[in-house]
Structure 1
């Protein structure tokens, strides 16, 4: 029997072999695998283009708070175009680079023409009528019509009704619009609206509207009370007509691949959190518009006229050509459901 007498060498070899085995996975060396709750949470990126102080921004924060209570999700918020701007966010959602966005409804017209519904003049009798349509079967159907495009609607987030302003004269009846030129958010229905009233229109980016009004590129514009107030249009617009003739609203969208990866319990958590956030968003939008209206009235800078029901009916008659042209593209069923909402 052969005996090894160099014991220190044997001990050193044993230590080296043990270390090698540990490095191959026999122990806890190398980077630690994710552990605890963080390993189980699903990351949700929510990108939007406005400030956190707006109704949309506050609703996004509320959604995050509600969904994260479950312990199953981590919601990352990217307000003010920090991640994607208006032009990029839809493609980012379709690629599942983000899981939630809340674009203006008009941004969706290229995918589904029926979303032009919000631009149809004097369609909704009131803000509440619009909310009832959105929450009803046809509003939900419209919101979900983007599914073939890889997107799914989860909620309508209203911004408010639009009203006319201009620098030339009071606008009380359809013929008062003749010869004036208005800024529009987009073409299509809105161009046809002003054409039917004998006015011109020009598409101008939101951030450039004040300057366009100031230098008389256009005579007027249409917007929510809050936008008219915060964008300081009263400085360059003498007249405002309370018309509530159209709407500026958002739809919260998710990616269908992401949505289908969730189980039924997780989808319910998502939907419940969205419903809570939507209630807050509507409440804040209503309150901000009401507050801005009071600010505009109290400033004394604008002459304000509120359309009577008789005035409203005259505008509806004058704008019938818009319905003749766009009802088929939007869908008569959607138009009728919106018109009959109370």
Structure 2
């Protein structure tokens, strides 16, 4: 009993002491001060942007530039968080993640969309684009617009196309100069019926592998070679277990920049305009810089002592094209006469 009385007296004494020295009990019920930083966190929109290549590639650089422009022009109201090197999803997972709203933006290689959208196969045709100007006309003209509209049926909005460059071939067995040099080699490819048919016509076998598993499969010898741009070959060190590289320019690698339609529809008109203007500026920038970056990485690859680099002559290119002609007829049956006619017109215009 005495203990209880002692504790009670101690508590009462503490309260009176606090009052004597000026403790304000009203602090407990006073409204907290306004914190503008906390409000900023609540109002901030986050765009998760997932892609699979290195940061020092055309796509990696474009993604960072786009993110910077959007954040600056919205005064930080929108932040684009870029996840490179497949840290969130690999190239076989990212489309479904976008469709389900687990990320807001992706920029897959156009080849990775061909199984879902067959018309996109037209972009994988071998030797389809004689020049960078032809690629630009495809991406930013009627063909590009037609292909992006295909995505709407799955709740995906296509914003634009981004550029990388022409594809080259590497392998660990022998120089590849003529079509017969592909015979019985095994290549990593993207999941495109046209690319698979291309290697089949050349006498090679293929395996569809995620981009970020390509290096390991070259290293252990599961595949003999692969096709890619100089920027991807150099940045991902795909040349390290390869002895031969052919500058063939046989196909073009580019990207479709996609955003989840439901997320897009939730944005204000002002934010949509800022995203579109930032995307247009980024696309214009990467159109120019992708060429420079691939040229720079080609020069660096030429400095690798373990890598022999061969350039196709015009006669050798013609031999490849003759071997691959039948693919055009097969693709026309899928994509339609109108798209193929536009491809043929571009080839005539730019001298294929």
> What SS does the aligned partner of 2:251 have?
strand
Q: In the TM superposition, what are the counterparts of 1:209-224 in structure 2 within 5 Å? A: 209-224=214-229
Return the alpha-carbon distance in structure 2 between the equivalents of residues 209 and 37 of structure 1. Answer: 42
- 8 Å CA contact 2:121–2:192 kept in 1: the answer is no
- 8 Å CA contact 2:92–2:210 kept in 1: the answer is no
Cα 1:62–1:78 change in 2 (3 A) is closer
Return the alpha-carbon distance in structure 1 between the equivalents of residues 102 and 184 of structure 2. Answer: 47
- Residue 193 of structure 1 is matched in structure 2 by 198
Tell me which of 96, 118, 128 is aligned to 2:123: 118
1:133-159 per-residue CA deviation (whole Å, 9 max, x = no partner) reads 101121122123201110011111122
> What SS does the aligned partner of 1:301 have?
coil
- 8 Å CA contact 1:150–1:255 kept in 2: the answer is yes
1:287-327 per-residue CA deviation (whole Å, 9 max, x = no partner) reads 22111111122334333222233322222221122222222
Q: In the TM superposition, what are the counterparts of 1:328-339 in structure 2 within 5 Å? A: 328-339=333-344
Cα 1:215–1:82 change in 2 (3 A) is closer
- Residue 98 of structure 1 is matched in structure 2 by 103
Alignment of 1:142 with 2:157, yes or no, is no
- Residue 266 of structure 2 is matched in structure 1 by 261
Unaligned regions of 5+ residues in structure 1, if any?
Answer: 1-18
Alignment of 1:314 with 2:313, yes or no, is no
Tell me which of 251, 255, 277 is aligned to 1:246: 251
Return the alpha-carbon distance in structure 1 between the equivalents of residues 32 and 224 of structure 2. Answer: 71
1:51-73 per-residue CA deviation (whole Å, 9 max, x = no partner) reads 44443233222222222313484
Tell me which of 277, 290, 296 is aligned to 1:291: 296
- Residue 10 of structure 1 is matched in structure 2 by none
Shift of 1:123: 0.9
Tell me which of 75, 79, 85 is aligned to 1:75: 79
Tell me which of 47, 53, 59 is aligned to 1:44: 47
> What SS does the aligned partner of 2:242 have?
coil
Unaligned regions of 5+ residues in structure 2, if any?
Answer: 1-25
Q: In the TM superposition, what are the counterparts of 1:230-245 in structure 2 within 5 Å? A: 230-245=235-250
Return the alpha-carbon distance in structure 2 between the equivalents of residues 194 and 335 of structure 1. Answer: 21
- Residue 275 of structure 1 is matched in structure 2 by 280
- 8 Å CA contact 1:124–1:339 kept in 2: the answer is no
> What SS does the aligned partner of 2:253 have?
strand
Q: Name the TM-score, length of structure 2 as normaliser.
A: 0.78
Return the alpha-carbon distance in structure 2 between the equivalents of residues 332 and 292 of structure 1. Answer: 38
- Residue 113 of structure 2 is matched in structure 1 by 108
RMSD of aligned C-alpha atoms? Answer: 3.1
- 8 Å CA contact 1:43–1:76 kept in 2: the answer is yes
Shift of 1:214: 4.4
Aligned residues: 319
- Residue 129 of structure 1 is matched in structure 2 by 134
Alignment of 1:65 with 2:60, yes or no, is no
Q: Name the TM-score, length of structure 1 as normaliser.
A: 0.80
Shift of 1:281: 2.9
1:188-240 per-residue CA deviation (whole Å, 9 max, x = no partner) reads 22221111122222333434434444444333321111222234444433322
Cα 1:256–1:286 change in 2 (3 A) is same
- 8 Å CA contact 2:52–2:211 kept in 1: the answer is no
- Residue 345 of structure 2 is matched in structure 1 by 340
Return the alpha-carbon distance in structure 1 between the equivalents of residues 207 and 93 of structure 2. Answer: 23
Structure 1 consecutive aligned stretches of length 4 or more whose deviation exceeds 6 Å: 29-39
- 8 Å CA contact 1:173–1:315 kept in 2: the answer is yes
Cα 1:325–1:301 change in 2 (3 A) is same
